[in-house]
Chain A
């Protein structure tokens, strides 16, 4: 179903003002989160930065935005805005004269998501400190903003979003499961289109900030839903469609960076469930005491699980499959089945701490800087876990549903690569059992 058939939606997407209004609100919120992290109370559970970024934003992102809107968050994310405005020399339509930044193309060796994998892992290894220490959160948020500005002045388009953002990598991976997509209507129109303004820009708008030629879009992974191509296409050939869930997964990836992203996300969800929600105090101490001997062991085990144990077991599983395709190709293709599984692992894990800690949101809202305010009369609301009675059933339902979803995806990927899906399904079953054990 084409959403852009509806005039209200199409006009709202083409017009720059609604988007700008959302951008300004987001940018203000983001800067405030940085400040609150730096000058607010150092008590994480009462600091606006911690509560709004790691509880409220994370809940919205992983429970709503990614599963239902794919890269919907990227469409309103404030991080690239200051850099992009500098790069373009304008906030709205293209100016007559563009500023002379370096505007370099990102070197070919970095044109993949390995840097995003590394940046995510870096944050993941320090996550126990990052998620609980407001000034560290403030510094990381500020660093991302300044990194995006710096890269915008050196490289063309949104180099930070496309190649470095630790969040953008997994949003892209999981956006393939979302029931929304931006695609062209008629390929022949793009073939015959002169100048390809959707990629190169025109007076109507900018060339794709995500360095994607919309005419070649077959999956959501790298389309940031910025809607610039809807503005620049002179043939009205771009559509935003509703579609079945996980439509993109019918076309398995062949890229190792994307395959490893699936393992990184899957492994991180399992490790987080053990470290942050499990009863093992020693593990929590090791994860929290950054720089200590225990932390180095924790980091080594973390990386070994993600880069050796999980991919190793997966490879062993598919090794015996009789097939003429190279193992690397099969590994990448069949790892597509881990995408829905990883997403529901994160949903199940996030439900735990979001429902447990959501009551902090109201308190932080009333006293965001920890100055003793009570703006909305909610500053003294006591901590109270929410909906605890439905937590375990909801997590079980999500994990079992995810397993079925992954099994279906494995079947499709296996038929594409002419292999048996059974080893992948068994692999997913074992990991789901581990996750159930950790969470319940």
Chain B
């Protein structure tokens, strides 16, 4: 086989492996919470884990209509989750327990059912004092 042919095959192979492998790798390494109307599945995943005192970074996107995100038992502003856009939210919990997050936008008939939970573990005193 000629060197030019071999080189061309190599370039094509690297390009194809790269364009398949790189996006798949990045996609698999970026956990995203998907919001859908409750009748289409609601939050996915709908159970999250966190530790007291450790910031929980969430990336949330909507797969259909505008949703909102808020956590009960926390003093936070609701965040709008727009279709196709990714919203970044960071939460820090100071007490262990099970927190409920829910949709704050009237997104569909079963809007009120669109809920999920964050299971926060660890001791309250792990929070560094000011």
Contact = CB atoms under 8 A, between A and B. Distances in A.
Interface stretch (A28-36, A198-206, A227-235, A293-301): A28-36
Interface stretch (B79-87, B92-100, B104-112, B114-122): B79-87
Given A43-B62, A91-B12, A367 B86 contact: yes
Contacts of A371: 26-27, 30, 32, 59, 86
A361 to B, nearest CB: 14
A43 B83 contact: yes
A372 interface: yes
Contacts of A369: 23, 26-27
Contacts of B16: 27-28, 31
B88 to A, nearest CB: 6
A325 B5 CA distance: 55
A323 B118 CA distance: 82
A24 B8 CA distance: 10
A39 interface: yes
Nearest to A367: B86
Interface string A359-388: 000000001011110000001100000000
B11 interface: yes
A333 B15 CA distance: 47
A435 B28 CA distance: 47
Contacts of B30: 371-372
Given A45-B84, A92-B4, A24 B11 contact: yes
B15 A28 contact: yes
B113 interface: no
B59 A372 contact: yes
A39 B83 contact: no
A179 interface: no
A18 to B, nearest CB: 13
A41 interface: yes
B20 A35 contact: yes
Interface string A11-42: 00000000010001001100110011001011
Size bracket, chain B contacts = 20 to 34
Contacts, number: 76
Interface in A137-193: none
A402 to B, nearest CB: 36
A20 B86 contact: no
Nearest to A41: B84
B15 to A, nearest CB: 5
B24 interface: yes
B63 interface: yes
B29 to A, nearest CB: 9
Interface in B55-91: 59, 61-64, 83-86, 88
Given A31-B16, A32-B23, A372 B8 contact: no
B88 A372 contact: yes
Contacts of A39: 23-24, 27
B86 A372 contact: yes
B2 to A, nearest CB: 8
A367 B59 CA distance: 14
Contacts of A27: 12, 15-16
Between B8, B11, B30, the greatest number of chain A beta carbons within 10 A of the residue's beta carbon is seen for B8
A371 B85 CA distance: 8
Query: Chain A interface: which size bin?
Result: 20 to 34
A352 interface: no
Contacts of A20: 8
Interface in A64-92: 85, 90-92
A90 B5 contact: yes
A46 interface: yes
Contacts of A92: 2, 4-5, 8
Interface in B15-68: 15-16, 18-20, 23-24, 26-27, 30, 32, 59, 61-64
A423 B18 CA distance: 57
A95 interface: yes
Nearest to B28: A39
A47 B84 contact: yes
A379 B85 CA distance: 8
Contacts of A367: 86
B69 to A, nearest CB: 14
B25 to A, nearest CB: 11
A167 to B, nearest CB: 22
A8 to B, nearest CB: 22
B44 to A, nearest CB: 12
Nearest to B9: A91
Contacts of B24: 35, 39
Contact of A370 (B5, B11, B61, B64): B61
A436 B19 CA distance: 43
5 contacts: A28-B16, A35-B19, A43-B64, A371-B26, A372-B86
Give me the 9 closest cross-chain CB pairs, A-B, nearest first: A46-B84, A372-B86, A43-B84, A91-B8, A43-B83, A28-B19, A371-B30, A41-B84, A42-B63
Interface of A: 20, 24, 27-28, 31-32, 35-36, 39, 41-43, 45-47, 85, 90-93, 95, 367, 369-372, 379-380
Given A31-B20, A372-B88, 7 more contacts: A28-B18, A39-B27, A47-B84, A91-B12, A371-B32, A371-B59, A372-B32
